[in-house]
Each structure stands twice: as structure tokens, then as C-alpha cells.
Amino acid sequence: MAAKSQSSGSELLGDRRAASKGERQRRAILDALQGLLRYRPIAELTVGEIASSAKVTRSGFYFYFDTKFAPLAVLLSEAYDDWTSQPSILLRFANETPAEYCRRCISSAAQTWNTHENIFVATFQAMPMDQTITDEWNKWNTRTESILEEQIRRDFDNSIAQRHYQDMRTLLKTLARMTQYELYKSRVDNYSDAEQEKMINALCHIWLVSLWGLDSAAGV
């Protein structure tokens, strides 16, 4: 979705049809909100400011979105899709060790947070204020956790991972939420490259010990 959404969000490769006025206005609202979030938190923005930045009327905004949080939910979906659309991003390759797999996934997630920093930070801050954002966040988390669970169970079946905690879904959910919070902190605290690398190392260690039962020295 993210790759397509740089234009109208509905164009197909090779499609020469010009985006309709409605598609352009909707995209303008999304782009305007994304731009405003670089400088101000979502809580401070108003529908009027977003509409003005997008060069549409307030009624034009409400034709597409019912609240200021609704376009943020769309941007979140695009950002998540940008990450999960990467080939086999959540699947471990046959010649890839668990340590390499963890580092690839977590490093890729960190890079996605860096790329879409304003969207993810705004989402974290908006969840206590809007149920739509929370539902969208939880939807993507559930999809991600399901894919990860399938991978871990395959590693259990092949004796690559050691089963030592029975409630796999709760463990995965806890690890995922912890990782997301650390990624959030890395953005709001403006981590340096060295600090982010230390964070990734620590996260890899925790995931490897928790899910694969690997010693930290062997894991990272």
C-alpha cells in the first residue's frame, strides 16, 4: 500500500488513468497530515488546520474522514504495509540462523520506524484518545504476531527452538509490545546510531532467549 499511496493510493502499475479529483483531495489530506506531524503532535492539530494545509475545505475533509484521527489510521496502515510488504520479512530463510533472523526483522522494523517516525509516534500518542487508531494498531499487531507464531512453531517442530513457555501468543504479544515501546522511545529520545544499535542488540537477546531458548552469547 505504501508504495502505491505516494500518488492516489489506488493506481495500478501501468495504469495511465489520471487520478480523480476525489482521489487527489484524499491524498492531499493524508500528505498534509503527515507533513504537519513532523512539527506538532496529533493532539494539537485541528481538522481546520489539516484541511487548510491540504487546500481543501472543512466540509471537504469531512467528506473523506470523520475525525482528525481517521487519516492517521490510513497513514499507519500504509506505513505498516511498507514494512510487511518486504519479501519474507517475517519468515526465516532456510539458511538463516535464529540470531540472523531476529536481527533482520528487528533492524528492518527499526528502519521502518525511522522512515515513518512521525506516523508511528503520532499513533502511539493517539491511541489513548481514539479507538479507531487503537483498533488499527491492534489489527496489524495481530497479523504480525500470527506470522511470527507460525515461524516459531515450525522451529519448535524442527528442534531449532526450545519450548519452555506454553502460552506462545501471550509471550509474543508481550515481546512485540516491548519492542514497539523501545522503538517509540528511540524516536522521541532521538537515539544516535550507536544507541539504536545497542537497543537492537538488547532486543535480539531478549527475543532469542525468550523464544528460542538460546544463550545470549550464541544468540547475538
DSSP 49-100: HHHHHHT--HHHHHHH-SSTHHHHHHHHHHHHHHHHTSTTTTS--TT--HHH
pLDDT in tens, 25-80: 999 999 999 999 999 999 999 999 999 999 999 999 999 999 999 999 999 999 98
Domain 4-67 has CATH 1.10.10.60: yes
For the chain, give every domain's residue range: 4-67, 71-219
Three-class DSSP category at 10 = coil
Answer yes or no: pTM beyond 0.75. yes
**In the numeric block, which cell numbers belong to residue 143?**
497479523
The DSSP code for 19 is: P
- Is residue 34 within 8 Å of 118, Cβ to Cβ? yes
Q: What is the CATH number of domain 71-219?
A: 1.10.357.10
pLDDT tens track for 116-157: 999 999 999 999 999 999 999 999 999 999 999 999 999 989
Q: Give the pLDDT confidence of 150-199 residue by residue, as tens digits.
A: 999 999 898 898 877 888 889 999 999 999 999 999 999 999 999 999 99
